[in-house]
């Protein structure tokens, strides 16, 4: 079939919930693909209407169709729609290529359709104990099978690619690309004045001292308790911590950590979920972004921070080495005194201007074109 007449189907389940990692990734990739390929027919399939946080009306593009067709299942069983309903829709609309931003493929009726999936990490293998039972079950059913059945693979990082091929060496013969970026139109320097920065932080309960920012969930691999263990000494040095995300921390072991009499409660502010627009303001207002994660398939918050001009301190492990290496401060090991010294060094201005030219969506989509 001529390239100009191809029909590309996109699995848009990540758009049905508030946008986070995979949803934001898909939005950025799709926006770029639509912009550079007005000649292609692109169909966005979903079991329910898109969530308002997507903030996109894709129907305004002449080459894009949005197909919302529910299935007899509640919203939290979208995997049933994906496995049973979507294959019929793909054939009904004469689709040539199915792309999904998750390592999951429907179970049948896809033999003539080219299948491209994105793999973001191998957490389901190496950190299975941190996942819910339902997610472990879904990954057990879909992950290995989908990797084998896919015609081409998109890895978010060289680290993830290396991990996947180590577990599944036979996949090395499949066409693949590596690359990921963020919404660089949103995550950018805002040139806030000192007064504006103070107002942004004050709105989140931080009114004095130098401020470091943590963005992440309560997953054990995010290792937030390690960062909290540094706060008594950092707070003594005039440093405050602002934690974005970490919903439900009051019902976790973090609550016991923070409520310990020896912990300076005034050192740390938990502000829960914030919008992307507010997160950009925070990146532009704090003095340093700090990650203490034990494993990441990429390192999206680190990249967001750097595009906003916020210096980054990060562990020297997994894909964070690729993202932060040569652009921010990487720390080996988990010696608390060393971490405190390095964070203070970053706060004192001992960091360089990062070169972020390697994280370009158009260049990534050019590589993606080779897969379809």
- The enclosing domain of 215 has a CATH number of 3.40.50.2000
Length of the chain counted residue by residue: 372
- Whether 150 and 199 map to the same domain: the answer is no
Predicted pLDDT of residue 74: 56
- Whether 94 and 176 map to the same domain: the answer is yes
Predicted pLDDT of residue 130: 63
Residues facing 97 on adjacent strands: 8, 114
Backbone angles phi, psi at 131, to 5 degrees: -100, 155
Closest CA to 298 of 122, 115, 140: 122
- Those residues with Cβ within 8 angstroms of residue 163's Cβ, 6 or more apart along the chain or in another chain: 121, 122, 126
Domain assignment present for residue 361? The answer is no
Predicted pLDDT of residue 1: 39
Domain assignment present for residue 188? The answer is no
Exposure string of 326-337, with b = 16+ CB inside 10 Å and e = fewer, is ebbbbbeeeeee
Sign of CA dihedral 340, 344, 350, 352: positive
Closest CA to 210 of 136, 120, 310, 118: 310
At residue 33, the 3 state secondary structure works out as helix
Domain boundary among 151, 180, 209: 180
Domain assignment present for residue 364? The answer is no
Strands, E assignment, the chain: 7-11, 41-46, 64-68, 97-100, 114-119, 152-155, 176-178, 210-216, 239-245, 268-272, 288-290, 312-315, 329-331
Question: What one-character-per-residue DSSP string does 330-342 give?
Answer: EE-S--HHHHHHH
Domain count, the chain: 2
The domain of 137 spans 3-180
Give the pTM. Answer: 0.88
- Whether 40 and 171 map to the same domain: the answer is yes
- Whether 200 and 131 map to the same domain: the answer is no
- Whether 144 and 235 map to the same domain: the answer is no
- Whether 204 and 108 map to the same domain: the answer is no
Domain assignment present for residue 186? The answer is no
Greatest alpha-carbon span in the chain:
69
Domain assignment present for residue 356? The answer is no
Domain assignment present for residue 225? The answer is yes
- Whether 30 and 169 map to the same domain: the answer is yes
Domain boundary among 132, 157, 180: 180
- Whether 216 and 148 map to the same domain: the answer is no
Domain assignment present for residue 367? The answer is no
Residues facing 244 on adjacent strands: 215, 272
Predicted pLDDT of residue 258: 87
- Whether 81 and 174 map to the same domain: the answer is yes
pLDDT tens series, the chain, 372 aa: 344 479 999 999 999 988 888 999 999 999 999 999 999 999 999 999 999 989 899 989 999 999 999 887 555 578 788 888 999 999 999 999 999 999 999 877 678 899 999 999 998 888 777 666 666 667 677 899 999 999 999 999 999 999 999 999 999 999 999 999 999 999 999 999 999 999 999 999 999 999 999 998 878 889 999 999 999 999 999 999 999 987 766 667 888 888 899 999 999 999 988 888 999 999 999 999 999 999 999 999 999 999 999 999 999 999 999 999 999 999 999 999 999 999 999 999 877 789 999 999 999 999 999 999
- Whether 17 and 165 map to the same domain: the answer is yes
Closest CA to 52 of 273, 280, 246, 275: 275
- Whether 229 and 159 map to the same domain: the answer is no
Closest CA to 282 of 310, 248, 320: 310
Domain assignment present for residue 352? The answer is no
Residue with tokens 């532009």: 284
Predicted pLDDT of residue 350: 78
Q: What is the DSSP letter of 159?
A: H
- Whether 169 and 44 map to the same domain: the answer is yes
């Amino acid at each position: 079939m001529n390239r100009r007449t191809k029909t590309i189907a996109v699995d848009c389940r990540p758009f049905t919930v508030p946008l986070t990692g995979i949803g934001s990734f898909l939005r950025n990739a799709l926006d770029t693909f639509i912009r550079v390929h007005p000649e292609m027919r692109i169909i966005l399939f979903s079991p329910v209407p898109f969530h308002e946080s997507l903030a996109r009306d894709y129907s305004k593009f002449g080459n894009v169709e949005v197909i919302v067709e529910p299935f007899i299942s509640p919203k939290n069983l979208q995997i049933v729609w994906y496995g049973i309903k979507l294959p019929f829709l793909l054939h009904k609309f004469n689709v040539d290529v199915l792309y999904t931003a998750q390592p999951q493929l429907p179970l049948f009726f896809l033999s003539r359709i080219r299948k491209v999936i994105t793999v973001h990490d191998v957490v389901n293998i190496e950190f299975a104990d941190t996942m819910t039972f339902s997610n472990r079950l879904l990954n057990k059913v879909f992950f290995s099978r989908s990797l084998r059945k896919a015609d081409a693979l998109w890895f978010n990082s060289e680290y993830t690619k290396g991990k996947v091929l180590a577990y599944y060496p036979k996949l090395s013969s499949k066409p693949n690309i590596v690359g990921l970026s963020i919404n660089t139109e949103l995550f950018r320097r805002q040139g806030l004045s000192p007064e504006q920065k103070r107002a942004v932080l004050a709105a989140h309960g931080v009114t004095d001292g130098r401020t470091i920012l943590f963005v992440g969930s309560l997953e054990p691999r995010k290792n937030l308790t390690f960062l909290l263990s540094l706060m008594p000494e950092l707070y003594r040095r005039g440093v405050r911590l602002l934690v974005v995300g970490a919903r439900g921390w009051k019902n976790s072991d973090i609550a016991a950590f923070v409520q310990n009499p020896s912990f300076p409660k005034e050192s740390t502010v938990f502000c829960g979920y914030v919008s992307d627009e507010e997160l950009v303001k925070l990146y532009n207002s704090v003095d340093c972004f700090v990650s203490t994660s034990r494993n990441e398939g990429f390192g999206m918050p680190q990249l967001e921070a750097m595009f906003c001009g916020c210096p980054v301190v990060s562990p020297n492990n997994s894909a964070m080495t690729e993202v932060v290496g040569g652009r921010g401060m990487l720390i080996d090991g988990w010696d608390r005194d060393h971490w405190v010294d390095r964070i203070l060094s970053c706060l004192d201005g001992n960091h360089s201007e990062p070169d972020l030219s390697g994280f370009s969506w158009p260049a990534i989509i050019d590589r993606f074109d080779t897969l379809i």
